[in-house]
Amino acid sequence: SQQGEEDPQALSIQEGENATMNCSYKTSINNLQWYRQNSGRGLVHLILIRSNEREKHSGRLRVTLDTSKKSSSLLITASRAADTASYFCATYGGSQGNLIFGKGTKLSVKP
């Protein structure tokens, strides 16, 4: 059963624009993670945000977490064609549970 649901399913933007992807989840979490998957490759970890954190930055990435709304957003600023990929959120609920992945947002950045 999917915990995280990304929105939108697909997003197409021009190089230089910002890209925002959202993730909603259903139950309480210990942490939330974002991953990137380039076509035909494995997933690559981008950032982890804990339930007691509200915002985190890594380079051009900014992740926010709102536990009251059970949602997170991933912002990629000044996007590049190389950012074209699928982006997944994954939630960890704690108590020896497993990481549960959403279905992903497919981002296309046009040069």
Partner 1 sequence: DAGITQSPRHKVTETGTPVTLRCHQTENHRYMYWYRQDPGHGLRLIHYSYGVKDTDKGEVSDGYSVSRSKTEDFLLTLESATSSQTSVYFCATTLSGNHNEQFFGPGTRLTVL
Closest approach, Cβ 45 to partner 1, in A, equals 4
Residues in contact with partner 1 by CB under 8 A are 1-2, 30-31, 33, 40-45, 48, 88, 92, 94, 96-104
Which residue lies nearer to partner 1 by CB, 47 or 75? 47
| Omega before residue 111 within 30° of 0, cis | no
DSSP state of 17: S
Which residue lies nearer to partner 1 by CB, 19 or 32? 32
Q: What is the 3-state secondary structure (H, E, C) of 48-107?
A: EEECCCCEEEECCEEEEEECCCCEEEEEECCCCHHHCEEEEEEEECCCCCCEEECCCEEE
Which residue lies nearer to partner 1 by CB, 19 or 29? 29
Closest approach, Cβ 39 to partner 1, in A, equals 11
Closest approach, Cβ 70 to partner 1, in A, equals 18
